[in-house]
Amino acid sequence: MARAFVEATSASMLAVAIGNVHGFTPNPPPLDFELLSQIASQVRMWILHNSRKNRSGRTAYPMLVIE
């Protein structure tokens, strides 16, 4: 499905959601690395980003772009 979407829209990158959430969530869902593996096998460039508070109370905004 990911490949079909990228091909149909001519998107250069695909932002994926595999359990990653924005903002503070007391009990964030686990990340679905199996789903990520399936997407990565179909799409050349994808993005994974989220934000979570770390132990120091700061909010981290990691972003990962894979090509």
Per residue in 9-66, pLDDT tens?
998 888 888 887 776 677 777 888 899 899 999 998 888 776 555 555 555 555 555 5
C-alpha closest to that of 22 among 55, 52, 62? 52
- Residue 30 DSSP class: P
- Do 12 and 30 form a contact (C-beta atoms < 8 A)? no
The domains of the chain are located at: 2-66
| Single pTM value for the model | 0.67
What gap in Å lies between CA 49 and CA 21, rounded to an integer?
8
